[in-house]
Each structure stands twice: as C-alpha cells, then as structure tokens.
Structure 1
Amino acid sequence: MNRIIKKVAVLGSGVMGSRIACHFAGIGVQVLLLDIVPKDLPADAPAIAKNKIVNDALQATLKSNPSPVYDKSVIKRITTGNFDDNMKDIASYDWVIEVVVERLDIKQQVYEKVEQYRKPGTLITSNTSGIPINMLSEGRSDDFKKHFCGTHFFNPPRYLRLLEIIPTKDTDKEVVDFLMNYGDVFLGKTTVLAKDTPAFIANRIGVFGIMSIFNSMEKLGLTIDEVDALTGPVIGRPKSATFRTADVVGIDTLVNVAKGVAKNCPQDEASAIFNIPAWLETMVSNKWLGDKTGQGFFKKTTNTKGEKEILVLDLVSSNYIARSKPKFATLETAKPIDDLKTRLKALIAGKDKAGEFYRHFHYALFSYISHRIPEISDDLYRVDDAMMAGFGWEIGAFESWDVLGVQKTTEAMKAAGYTVAPWVDEMLAKGFTSFYKTENGKKLYYDIASHSYKNIPGTEAFIILDNYSDKIVWKNSNAALYDIGDDVVALQWNTKMNTIGSEVLEAVNKSIGIAEEKFKGLVIANDGANFSAGANVGMIFMFAVEQEYDELDMAIRLFQNTMMRVRYSGIPVVIAPHGLSLGGGCEMNLHADKVCAAAETYIGLVELGVGLIPGGGGTKEFVLRAADEMHEDEPETITLKNRFLTIATARVATSAAEAYQMGILRKGLDEVVINQNRRIAEAKRSVLELHESGYTTPVQRKDIKVLGRSALGALYAGINGMWRANYATEHDAFVARKLAYVMCGGDLSDQSLVSEQYLLDLEREAFLSLAGERKSLERIQGVLKTGKPVRN
C-alpha cells in the first residue's frame, strides 16, 4: 500500500501532545490537535470556551525554550478543537496519534470514540510509555488492531531523535515497515523496533542505569555533585549527567518507571536495583519532583546578595547546600584526552574512587544489557541506537564494551561478581571478539541467532565517515580525506569543537586538489557533535598579544584564500553541516556550491561577540548577496541594513529553516535534511548531480554593487542610536562601525561596482585592526577561559 501522510490528528494536548503536533507541523503536515472540554461548560458554549484547554496548552508549548518548531510560521498548519465537537473530523485524517493521560480506562474510552469516526486503513498509534500496547487494543475491531501500534516519542520530540515502534501481535507488518521508514525519512528519527515489554528499550536501560548509579553512590559514599561530574560529557553523556537529567525528566516519572519494572518484570535478574531508596521516596512525598515543582536534586534560589545560585540536595540531611566542584585524579588524567574511546579506557583504569565507580558502573550496565537480549530486543544494535537517540549517549553500551575489549572486560566482570548472558560466552567461544565491525564503509553487528555479522537494516542510506577508516586517501594529524565511493571523496577533521586552524585549512586545500585531479567532487562534513565552532581564536589571540601582525595577516589571507578555493574549485564542493556551525564554519558553508544542512543546524557569523568582524570571506559574501537581492522598488539600503544587522548582532539561526530567513542558506539551491544521519549521503548525491549536469568553475565576481557614503551615514546613525539607548557598549559600536565601513565598500563618494578581492582586502584590514584592540582581546580571552565573551 502506498501511504501518504498529509494530515495527522493528535489526541491530547499536554506537554507531549502539543510538541508532537508542532513537530509534524514543522515537516509540513496539517495537524488537528484535540483535547477535552473544560468541566461544567454548557453544551451551547462557544468554541473558544470549549477549546480553552487545547489552546492554552499549545500556547504554553510555543513559549517554551528551546522552541518546539523549526520556524514559528508552521503554527498555521495546526488546527485546534475538542473531543466533543471535533472527533468526527478525524475521518479525513491519515494518522491518529493518542497522547492522553496514562490510564488504561481513559485511553480505551478515547479509542471507542476514535473507532466511531476513523476510516478503515487509517493508522492509529499510542504514545504511551507505561501501558502494554497489547492491552490498549483489546476489544477493538480487526481493522483497528491491524493498523494499531505504539509510537513512543521522546520529549522534546524535535530534539530527542528516538522513536520506538512497538507493534502488537495483531499489527500488520506493512504498518510497522511504513512507520519505521516514515520516522526515519520524514520525522528525522532514529526509529527503533521494540518489543512490548515494560518501559520498552530506552527507558528500561536508561532507568536501570540511573538506579544502578544510585546504588553505587551509596556504596562508595559519593555525593550528587561528584556523580554528575563523573557521568556527564567525560563519558560521552549529556551535560545534564545523572541527577540533572532526573530533575528534567521528573523524579516521579523516574520512580514510576522503576516501580513498574520491579512489579512487572519478576524474571529480571537485577530487579533489586529498581527498589526505591528511602531518600528518593522522601523526595516524592515532599513533592520535590525536579523542574516541574521548582526543586528536586537541585534548587534555584537567590542568596543574601541578591544573586541567583543553584543549591544541591544533601541526601543525608535532606537539606539544600552549596555546590562543590569535585576533584578526582582519574578525571584530571582523562579530561585532556579528546578521543572518547581512548578516554574511556583511561577512566576505567583509574586507581582512585572514580576508577572504582567507573568499573562498577560499566560492569553493571554491560551485564544488564546482555541479559535483556532477546527479552526487549532480538538485536543488540537496537539497544545502542535507542540509548544514543533517546538519552543522548555519544556511543552505545555494546559499542563501549567493544572499546574496552569484550574478552578482557568480560573476564574482569566475572572476577568482580558480575554475570553475562550465555550468548556472550558463546560468541567469544566461537571466536567472535566484538559486537560490531566495519567492512566497505558499513557497520555490521553480531547477530546472535545466526552467529554471524550482518548489516544494520536501514543504514544503507547512511554514510558514517568513521566507518571508512580503511578508505583514507590522505590525512594529517587533524583531518582525513575518505573515498566514499562513486568517485567522491569526503573531508572530516577532528579538533576541539571542530575549530578551524592551519592544519584544517591545509586539509581543505589538499582535498580540493586531490578531488580536482582524481575525483568527481568533494563533500565536507563530520560525524562529531558539531560541524565547527569556527576559527581557532586561541591562535588569533596568541598572534595579537605577541603583536605578530604579519603572521596574523598571513593567517587571515590563508583563511580567505581557502574559502575562495571552496567557491572556485574545479569540482563541486558540497558541505553537510549540523549542530554548531559558527564563525569560520559558517563562512565555509557560505562559499560552498551547495549546502545539505541537517534540520538541527545552528549557524551564524558570531565574530562581533569577540570584538571582530567575519574575516574569512563572510562579510564579503553578505555584501555580495545583499547586492544581488537589491530591488528597484525598495530603498537599496534596506537589504544591506538587514544583512548588516545579522552580523552586527551576532545572530545565530536556531534551525536550518531559520537560516533560510537569515539569508545564510539559499532558497532553491541549498537543502535541509530532516534526519541528520542522511545528510552526508545527500551531500554525496548532490555532488554527483552537480558533476553530471556539467559542472564548471564559477567566475569570480567583479560586479558587486556597494553603496558608499550614502549607506554608511545611515548605518553610522543607527549604530549611534543603539549606543545612546544602551543597547550596545562603546566597543560594540566601535566594531559595528568597522563592519559598516567594509559592507559599504569603504568611504566611497558614490555607488560603485567592486570585486570580491576588493571586499576581502577591506575585510582583512578591519579584522587586523580590531585584533589589536585591547577590548577585543579581553573578549577573546574571556571566550578562551570561560567559553563566553566579556561584555565590555
């Protein structure tokens, strides 16, 4: 059956329902969002009164930060209504998603109404996280059961990429296959097929991990601050670590899931771990449930000086106390190690309390996941996919076990009193020493049933550059160029925050040269958390402080020339950004033949924040685009002013959709890829399309219209007004005037046509002069020390 989803009905407008509705609207689907009618309303009450609950919920969601939508304009695709008057409207909808309160009786009442109006063949799914899916469809018609299953989104749906698909024994295979594909391609999700077991996959493993940590911290005498220091980014987990995550999720939710597993999984060999500690029961009874009640493991308060601070709960006294900064020798040794896999080995080998914690933490986790196969999933890769997409783990648990060595770690686990499932021993006995391996750019997983390695289903459309380690064409200490097939190469670099320094610039130039000689085109992308946080400001600071202005001038010229090489190479260059793409990273995208951006791309020219202007061709490119956008029917300065303000306010797009509005992405040329895992494959496809269409090197522009003094005066006046109104500091205004000077083409008496090189020279001169300013250096130093610029 060829299903097309044009209209989706979401039943229930709470936190999850409203956000699910927003995510569907964000991908272009028409959404009907329904909820109950407020109590005690007369039958003839107006629609605005009947829809108060749903409308208030949607408005609250739209005000939340971070935003649940890529672009505020998509809200027009959401229609609200109520169960009494509008349930009949679902007859014309392609998919109905139930997101009402977690009570079986209420859900079944809703399904009874749904069945009255739903047309045969319509998808009907539940977002439940705690009720067995098979129980939900009891008593329904055969057609309902065939088209019914669980679709468990994680909150917030826009940002957490996991979507668990949980079929019942009656669900049609066509429905499951469709949802697995739709979630991947259209919703941008990592879709994981889960069995109908308590808490499914991610919450089952995730809550075990948290409860296991609670158990270990009591045995080792660790504090909340110490545990969060040990379980955050240092081991490839989110900054929220353990206890902050619990506060965000809701401590009552955590306790409910743990109690549900303890009650409904009597066969779980680690069921004792799910017993709720007395101090956690006390928190629940006190309504200390985390962010939703204003306090949990942490509490925001104001001190005697009127300053905001965050206190932490002392589990012994149940009092909130000042936070401490933990120190462990193992952490101090491991933190400088950039590569996570190498860092994990150092952490697990620690000789202090931290090392002991890491061993118990990993051994317990590895033991647990081994015993959950095949209970919650037949395939081990699904467990890793669920944890990475649902809980933000950088690598999965089975992959971590691989990193530490399966044979070696299994022996250590047994010596420490931990068990592994029999299939692990059987795997090792048959000579298979890892859960994953790579062949020909594809990641294979160990299939327990066949005792062999198999391709991970659905990943045929993905290109993961780390899987091409045997296909390296060229490399230096910070970057590698991979042959990704079909005569296309891909460049990836690996520096802190993927910043761009001399070795990265060398790699870009070398890669273009190799591609021009032997390949059809080049993709620039990476598998890290971000595309690039920009140029290496540490190098800029060093040159400026030591007054090595000739060296700095050469470095800027190299950056500019490299960006121009990206634009004017002999082969198509396509960039696939994701995450942060700031400053120099943004400038590289501005010069690409095409950009295939992940939907979650946060891109912008942020140099004004550190007292500089974009010096790698970004200012030039905005002037060029402004000139091309000028229309006879509007003042020419309007377009230039808008471009100027984007740079002057260091504005960053909060999504790829917003990057179009800001003029960073080009409509009709650049594209957005909803599923981040598909962007490199899309970029490769674009390279081949450009090549096959007869790609020719563009001609450098010499016809860029600049406005000179007429626009410069207007921009100066605006800057002065911002400064007088205290919206900008004196140094902000000083830097903004330098930017205005460049964007107007200098102090020209009249409008003129200039070349790209003319603008690059102006841009470089302004950058150099600002790098010598004390207040700019203070801002750069602030970023280097704290990650935030000084506002001076």
Structure 2
Amino acid sequence: MSKRIIKKIAVLGSGVMGSRIACHFAGIGVQVILLDIVPTEAKESTNKLLRNKLVNDSLQAAIKSNPSPVYTKDAVKRIATGNFDDDLKEIGTCDWIIEVVVERLDIKRALYEKVEGFRKAGTLVTSNTSGIPIHLLSEGRSEDFKKNFCGTHFFNPPRYLRLLEIIPTPDTDPSVVDFLMNYGDLYLGKTTVLAKDTPAFIANRIGVYGMMAIFGLIEKLGLSIDEVEALTGPVIGRPKSATFRTADVVGIDTLVKVAKGVYDSCPNDEQRNVFQIPAWLNKVVENNWLGDKTGQGFFKKVKGNSGEKEIFTLDLKTLEYQPRQKAKFASLEAAKPIEDLRQRLKMLVSSQDKAGEFYRHFHYGLFSYISNRIPEISDEVYRIDDAMKAGFGWEIGAFESWDTLGVEKTVQAMKAAGYPVATWVDEMLAAGNKTFYKVENGNTLSYDPASRSYKSIPGSKDFIILENYKDKTVWKNGSTNIYDIGDGVLGVQWNTKMNSIGGDVLAGISKAIEMAEKNYKGVVIANEGANFSAGANVGMIFMFAIEQEYDELDFAIRAFQNTMMRCRYSSVPVVVAPHGLALGGACEMSLHSDKVCAAAETYTGLVELGVGLIPGGGGTKEFVLRASDEMHEDEPETITLKNRFLTIATAKVATSAFEAYNLGIYRKGLDEVVVNQNRRVLEAKKSVIEFYDSGYSMPAQRKDIRVLGRSALGALYSGIHGMWRANYATEHDVTVAKKLAYVMCGGDLSEQTLVSEQYLLDLEREAFLSLCGEKKTLERIQSVLKGGKPVRN
C-alpha cells in the first residue's frame, strides 16, 4: 500500500479522553476536527454555537485542565469543532478517524455506519475502547473499513501517560498495524505495545490485578490505606499516587467496572477470584464515593481546626474518614538511604517485618499471574513490562523485577508459599536460562517462550539505554560513568539524589570532554533517572555557606562555570539530552551545549531566584549574551534584556520542551525536541556524529557582548520596585533581583560597553557568593533541603 501521511484527523467524542486525544495530536502539529452530539435542547436550533455547545465546552474544559494537555497554547488553534449531525461529512477530508464515544456497542456500531457514508477508502478508523472486544465493533462493516480498523487504546492523560496499546482484529491489514506501531512511537511519543483482543488488554489486566490483589492483602495482613500507600509508592518504583490515590484519580467505579469485566469474561483465569469485589468496595461505590470526580473516595479533603484543608483517609473497617497516619515500618526506614531501586527492592522483599511479608505475597502473586498471561494476552514478556511502565508509571517492569530478585531463587520461594508458575518458566530455568532479559553489545534481548530462546526487542536499535553499556565503561567515579556508546561517541551518565550536579558530576563531564578531544568524536550528556537533573547540589552550597567556607564556595562556583564553558568551548561537539526536570544548573548545561536533543516532556528553567540566588553556572551570562545578539535597531534596547531578566527573576519553567523555545532557553533551528524520550540519546549521538563529520571546529570565546549599563539598570530597578509595591515580591526578592539586574546590565557602567564572557562570569560569581552570605537565602535553601519547597521570606 502507499505510504500514509497523517495531515488531519477526526476525533469522534469530546469527553475527557476524546478532547485530550485531540489536544495531543494538535500538540504534535496535526490538524484536528473534534465532533460530538448536538445537545438535546439544541436539536431544533439553527444556532451553530448552541449546536456545538457540548463539544466546545468539553474542549475548553480540557484546555483549562492542569497539567495542560498541549505542549504550547498555540496548538489549540489546530482544533476545529463540530457535531455529528452537521459536520460528520468533514471526516472525508481526514486521514485517521478516532472514535471515543460512550462505551456501548450499539452506539459505536450506529456511529460507524454513519462514518462509512462519508469516510474515503483507505482512511484509518480506530477505537479507544477499553471495555468492548475490538472484533465486535467492526462486524457488519465493509471490507475496506475492516481492513483499516483496529483498537488504539490511549491512557489518560494522553500527553503524559506514554502507553498506546494497538489491538488488531483478524481482519486488520498487517501494514496498518505496522504503521500505527511506528507512528505512535515516532510522532506521538508513545511506547506502542501490540496487544491481543483480550479483556482489559495488557496494562489494565495486569494493573487492575495488582490493585485487586493488594485489596485482598489488606484483609489478610491487617493493613490500613495509609500503610499501603507508603508501601506501594516511589519506594518500589511506582508513582506517588501509589494504589488508593491512583484509584481516586482513575475513578473507583471505573476500577470496579474493569475488575468485574475480567471476572465475567475470563472464566479460565486461574486467579479469577482476585477480581471479586470485596463488600467494603461495593459499599464505597454505593455511597458514590468514586474519587476525585465526586469529591471523595479513599481520600477526602476536609477543613482542619486551623481552617486549612487537610486530607483524611477512609478507614475500611468503619468506612469513616480519619486523619492520615504515618506508616511505621522498620524496613521502609532502612530502605530510604538506598538510591538504587533494584538494590532497595531486594532489601524490602527480604525484610522480616510486616512490610517484607506484604512485598513477598504481592510480588509472588504478581509473578505467578504474569507468567500465566503468556501467551493469553501477549506472546512476549517485554510487551507486558513496556505496558506497565508506560501505562502505570512503573520504573521497572514486573519481569524486570523478577530478574532483580533472582528468577530461580524466587520461583523456589513462590512454590513453597503456594504460588505456582507457568510451565514455560520452569522450562526456561531447566534449559539453563536464568533471566528474562540479558544485554549483548548494548542491545537488550528478551526471552521468547515460544522459541525458547532470546530475541532482540523490535525497534530497540532506535534506542540507546546507557545502562546497557556498563561493560563499555571507560572511566567512572563515585557518581558518574563514562561509556563508549559506539561510533566514536562517549556517553556521560550520573546517579545522585534527584540527579543533582556536584563535584563528581562536573569532574565526569570534564573528563569525558578531555578523553573525547584525544580519541573520540564527541560527547553525549544524558541519564536515565526519573529526571535529568534538579540542578546543582544545593546541599553542598548550604554546607559551605553555613560554615562560611567562602573560599571553598568560590572554588565550587568556578568549577561549575569552567565545566559549562568546557561544554561550549571544546574541540569536540557536546550534545545534551535532557528529560523531565532540567532545572538550574541542568538548564545551564543545556544553554552551553552545542545542541540540545530534549524529550518533549522536559521542564527546564533557571529557578535559582526561588532559593535566593542567581544562576551562577554561566546561566546569567548566557542570557545576557543572547539578549545582546537579539537586540535590533527598531525596538528599545531594554526590551530584549528586560524579557530575559524577567524569565530569570520570576523563575519561569518551561512546561514542555517546545515552550523552552519561547523562553529563549532552546534555540530555534538548532536545538531539537524528541517527542519519544526513549529516542533522545540516539538522536543526540547522531547529532554528535553529524557535527564531527561536517568538520566541527571549536568556537571562539565571545568578547563582543553588548551590556547596557546604568540606563538599563535604572529601568530594571524601577520595575523591581513596582513588583515589591504590588506585593508580588518580598524584600529579599528585591535584594536578589537587584543583584541579578546589576550582573545583566554589566554593572554600573556609564554607557553601553562591549564586554567578554569572562567579565560577566566574574560578576555572576561575585553576586552568587554575596547572596550565599544572606540569612534569608540560607533560610530558603534550608527549607528546600528539608521540605522540597523554598520558604517565602
């Protein structure tokens, strides 16, 4: 068949999922028409606004939702709205039609019949259903419709949850499946997982099993909701929403519906009874305590004695809400200092307190269940892990966890505890294969039960997983590893708390550049933590400042500045590949690289003002340099500088990599956004090679930066004073902002002057040092270290 190009899509149904799917497509540049029914009260009206009220209200609700469903606000302009009665003919101009209407087979089939009247041959038609067998939906449709039809199950919210399950029917053309797998990965930024047309598909089948199994363990082990939340959150690599908070967000009625669906539709599921709804859960649904959508579920916000809102937890025995109780398990306390998730998991599962007992029962049950789902819901182990990581936010998949705990050892313990495993696992072990995954030459192989051998994961050559190059380590220190990632390129990765940047990390980056200048083409800086980096190690700054070790502090700031300048001025290209949080010093690293290959979900900014400091690793200097380059004759010179100043002074953070262009952090035409974050390291490596092959040469340090001196300084001081008078800034904010303004204007110069980068770096460092001596700055840093947020003083 001819190559498909998706220029325009139609989304049929504007509910929570439909409107947000429309927003996500618009966010990647696709034209969208969003359609829904005409409200009953407008059926006889000719007023288009009234007839489109439902769809327009739904879209506006999506746009106003937090977090935003689009990468930039401008994306919404690509969405047109309409209704099924007046505008269904518009689908004839579309390349892909996505149905997201109410979960009723008769309604979907009736809509498809209308779609056939307007759809052009060859157009994709997919359904986002999660509760109706996909093959039933296309019954009675034309051969062309069936050939181009399948399930595309997005997870909510579509922009942020990266799973897209592709569910073909027996009639789906294999080329359609291939196209959707590739499009979802490359353009939508998804982990696309091929799923079978089985109840709840892959992620919900395993995820809901896990939640229902936990509900059973609550009664068995006498645990409270607060205890379960502490046990099943980030400590084992799961989201902060853990178990019960996740249910509140998703909707407790939705959870119950999926569980009942599996129970009713899967009579041969060996753990079918796990999906039976406990009496207390039925009571919660009867009370209409469905979670966030009804204002209360397993948690409820109430007014405390002080008048402020507090979160209360449901007591499952009395079904009354009580103040939250901090969980107390010795093993959890012992696990806190262990940064490495896999080591932490081993420790927790082997613990001898009630927490350890919970973890053993939970993991043994989970491992037993997933082993028996092959080949029922998937032929491959990696698809199950991919689905759980992308759909439920697990840091490591279930089979990966099993590998971590030792497959053979765990199977023995499982059988002793009454948890059987599928025959294929016993056969795998008997043949001498001890793990579900292994790495060869940087490539991850997955055990294939059907062929009883290891196979390369399809598409994995498009990804570089730095951890897979451990055997290619060419240098390391306490926090940082430098890997040879092939083709003459070095990769730098570090592992610290929140991936903060301290002395070891700076030393590792400098060492990588030094090594590359001798024997390699260039350097990629990236890591695979939950976030790229929360910035410089403020704990170290606080320690030096509180002990008045100003010489040490001066040395540390110089080291940071020098390393950033090494990223800019080296004889080899340096490319940074951030994702997640890339704040403060991590943003400065991007500012000084030859190129940034950022994941779309990168949240970056110079946030130092929040802790009473200014960017001290070259960030202030770089914004002045860029402002100088952006100044032009037909606008007041202070406008560009003022905009740059406000971005730092208000600690603005880009809410996506695309927004970072608007803040002047990423450079249009040079820096690149990679929608699928799994691809960013490979893209960064390609960029290094492209720079090298095109004859890369080290740029010259700048000595022609125009600073505006006293004239601009007065204007900025006036603006700062205005913010203070309007109560937008505290007195200490004013102190810090004035220091920032002084540096950005080049000091108290009588006239415009051309200065060097080093001149600005020296001003920046002096201002940073002086602010470290301010009591209120230290109070802010201390509050961040203790509670994660700066105090407003």
Q: TM-score range by the shorter chain?
A: over 0.9
User: Cα offset for 1:549?
Assistant: 0.3
Give the Cα–Cα distance (whole angstroms) in 1 for the partners of residues 357 and 316 of structure 2. Answer: 21
TM-score under structure 1 length normalisation: 1.00
- 1:643 counterpart residue number: 644
- 2:517 counterpart residue number: 516
- 1:269 counterpart residue number: 270
1:425 and 2:396 equivalent? Answer: no
- 1:620 counterpart residue number: 621
Q: How does 1:242-641 map to 2 (within 5 A)?
A: 242-641=243-642
For 1:13, what is the secondary structure of its paired residue? coil
User: Cα offset for 1:40?
Assistant: 3.6
For 2:273, what is the secondary structure of its paired residue? helix
1:206 and 2:207 equivalent? Answer: yes
- 2:72 counterpart residue number: 71
1:163 and 2:168 equivalent? Answer: no
- 2:124 counterpart residue number: 123
Amino acid across the alignment from 2:172: T
Deviations 1:683-739 (A, max 9, x none): 000001111111000000000000000000000000011111111000000100000
User: Cα offset for 1:455?
Assistant: 0.4
Give the Cα–Cα distance (whole angstroms) in 1 for the partners of residues 425 and 271 of structure 2. Answer: 18
For 2:358, what is the secondary structure of its paired residue? helix
Give the Cα–Cα distance (whole angstroms) in 2 for the partners of residues 324 and 663 of structure 1. Answer: 45
User: Cα offset for 1:34?
Assistant: 0.1
Identity of aligned residues (%): 76
Contact 2:125/2:145 (CA < 8 Å) preserved in 1? yes
Give the Cα–Cα distance (whole angstroms) in 2 for the partners of residues 44 and 319 of structure 1. Answer: 48
Amino acid across the alignment from 1:625: R
For 1:469, what is the secondary structure of its paired residue? helix
Deviations 1:155-186 (A, max 9, x none): 00000000000000000000000000000000
User: Cα offset for 1:43?
Assistant: 3.8
Give the Cα–Cα distance (whole angstroms) in 2 for the partners of residues 558 and 515 of structure 1. Answer: 20
Contact 2:45/2:51 (CA < 8 Å) preserved in 1? no
Amino acid across the alignment from 2:427: E
- 1:92 counterpart residue number: 93
Give the Cα–Cα distance (whole angstroms) in 2 for the partners of residues 736 and 50 of structure 1. Answer: 51
User: Cα offset for 1:463?
Assistant: 0.4
Give the Cα–Cα distance (whole angstroms) in 2 for the partners of residues 40 and 274 of structure 1. Answer: 41
Contact 2:43/2:51 (CA < 8 Å) preserved in 1? no
- 2:185 counterpart residue number: 184
Give the Cα–Cα distance (whole angstroms) in 2 for the partners of residues 105 and 359 of structure 1. Answer: 44
User: Cα offset for 1:42?
Assistant: 4.5
Give the Cα–Cα distance (whole angstroms) in 1 for the partners of residues 207 and 149 of structure 2. Answer: 26
User: Cα offset for 1:118?
Assistant: 0.5
For 1:480, what is the secondary structure of its paired residue? strand
Give the Cα–Cα distance (whole angstroms) in 2 for the partners of residues 713 and 130 of structure 1. Answer: 64
Amino acid across the alignment from 2:382: Y
User: Cα offset for 1:622?
Assistant: 0.3
Q: How does 1:110-149 map to 2 (within 5 A)?
A: 110-149=111-150
- 2:729 counterpart residue number: 728
Deviations 1:65-119 (A, max 9, x none): 0000000001110000000011011011000000000000000011011011111
TM-score under structure 2 length normalisation: 1.00
User: Cα offset for 1:589?
Assistant: 0.5
- 1:15 counterpart residue number: 16
Give the Cα–Cα distance (whole angstroms) in 2 for the partners of residues 337 and 430 of structure 1. Answer: 34
Give the Cα–Cα distance (whole angstroms) in 1 for the partners of residues 739 and 302 of structure 2. Answer: 42
For 2:34, what is the secondary structure of its paired residue? strand
- Structure 1: tracts of 5 or more residues without a match: none
Runs of 4+ in 1 over 6 A off after TM superposition: none
Amino acid across the alignment from 1:430: A
Deviations 1:237-285 (A, max 9, x none): 0000000000000000000000000000000000000000111000111
- 1:679 counterpart residue number: 680
Report the aligned-residue RMSD: 0.6
For 1:281, what is the secondary structure of its paired residue? helix
Deviations 1:539-558 (A, max 9, x none): 10010010000010011001
Give the Cα–Cα distance (whole angstroms) in 2 for the partners of residues 563 and 305 of structure 1. Answer: 48
Amino acid across the alignment from 1:564: M
User: Cα offset for 1:305?
Assistant: 2.1
For 2:729, what is the secondary structure of its paired residue? coil
User: Cα offset for 1:585?
Assistant: 0.5
How many residues matched?
792
Q: How does 1:705-716 map to 2 (within 5 A)?
A: 705-716=706-717
- 2:747 counterpart residue number: 746
CA 216–42 in structure 1, closer or farther in 2 if over 3 Å, else same: closer
- Mean Cα displacement is larger for which, 468-477 or 669-678? 468-477
Amino acid across the alignment from 1:221: G
Give the Cα–Cα distance (whole angstroms) in 2 for the partners of residues 327 and 653 of structure 1. Answer: 38
Give the Cα–Cα distance (whole angstroms) in 2 for the partners of residues 248 and 43 of structure 1. Answer: 38
Give the Cα–Cα distance (whole angstroms) in 2 for the partners of residues 452 and 470 of structure 1. Answer: 23
User: Cα offset for 1:451?
Assistant: 1.0
Give the Cα–Cα distance (whole angstroms) in 2 for the partners of residues 452 and 111 of structure 1. Answer: 43
For 2:40, what is the secondary structure of its paired residue? coil
Give the Cα–Cα distance (whole angstroms) in 1 for the partners of residues 89 and 145 of structure 2. Answer: 16
Give the Cα–Cα distance (whole angstroms) in 2 for the partners of residues 725 and 181 of structure 1. Answer: 52
Deviations 1:198-240 (A, max 9, x none): 0000000000000000000111000000000000000000000
Give the Cα–Cα distance (whole angstroms) in 1 for the partners of residues 644 and 163 of structure 2. Answer: 37
1:761 and 2:762 equivalent? Answer: yes
Give the Cα–Cα distance (whole angstroms) in 2 for the partners of residues 32 and 56 of structure 1. Answer: 15
User: Cα offset for 1:473?
Assistant: 1.1
Give the Cα–Cα distance (whole angstroms) in 1 for the partners of residues 402 and 267 of structure 2. Answer: 27
Contact 2:484/2:491 (CA < 8 Å) preserved in 1? yes
Give the Cα–Cα distance (whole angstroms) in 1 for the partners of residues 675 and 118 of structure 2. Answer: 32
Deviations 1:326-358 (A, max 9, x none): 110111111110000000000001111000000
Deviations 1:363-412 (A, max 9, x none): 00000000000000000100000000000000000000000000000000
Give the Cα–Cα distance (whole angstroms) in 2 for the partners of residues 7 and 467 of structure 1. Answer: 39
Give the Cα–Cα distance (whole angstroms) in 1 for the partners of residues 214 and 762 of structure 2. Answer: 57
Give the Cα–Cα distance (whole angstroms) in 1 for the partners of residues 403 and 780 of structure 2. Answer: 43
For 2:471, what is the secondary structure of its paired residue? coil
1:240 and 2:241 equivalent? Answer: yes
1:775 and 2:792 equivalent? Answer: no
- 2:50 counterpart residue number: 49
Amino acid across the alignment from 1:386: A
Amino acid across the alignment from 1:233: P
Deviations 1:136-167 (A, max 9, x none): 01111111000000000000000000000000
Give the Cα–Cα distance (whole angstroms) in 1 for the partners of residues 446 and 404 of structure 2. Answer: 14
Deviations 1:521-580 (A, max 9, x none): 100001111111100001100100100000100110011001000000110000000000
Give the Cα–Cα distance (whole angstroms) in 1 for the partners of residues 286 and 178 of structure 2. Answer: 44
Give the Cα–Cα distance (whole angstroms) in 1 for the partners of residues 477 and 308 of structure 2. Answer: 48
- 1:153 counterpart residue number: 154
Contact 2:232/2:243 (CA < 8 Å) preserved in 1? yes
Give the Cα–Cα distance (whole angstroms) in 2 for the partners of residues 745 and 42 of structure 1. Answer: 66
Give the Cα–Cα distance (whole angstroms) in 2 for the partners of residues 334 and 520 of structure 1. Answer: 41
Give the Cα–Cα distance (whole angstroms) in 2 for the partners of residues 311 and 44 of structure 1. Answer: 47
For 1:470, what is the secondary structure of its paired residue? helix
User: Cα offset for 1:44?
Assistant: 4.7
For 2:683, what is the secondary structure of its paired residue? helix
For 1:753, what is the secondary structure of its paired residue? strand
Amino acid across the alignment from 1:252: D
Contact 2:233/2:243 (CA < 8 Å) preserved in 1? yes
User: Cα offset for 1:620?
Assistant: 0.1
Give the Cα–Cα distance (whole angstroms) in 2 for the partners of residues 633 and 181 of structure 1. Answer: 47
Give the Cα–Cα distance (whole angstroms) in 2 for the partners of residues 41 and 49 of structure 1. Answer: 6
Give the Cα–Cα distance (whole angstroms) in 2 for the partners of residues 328 and 689 of structure 1. Answer: 53
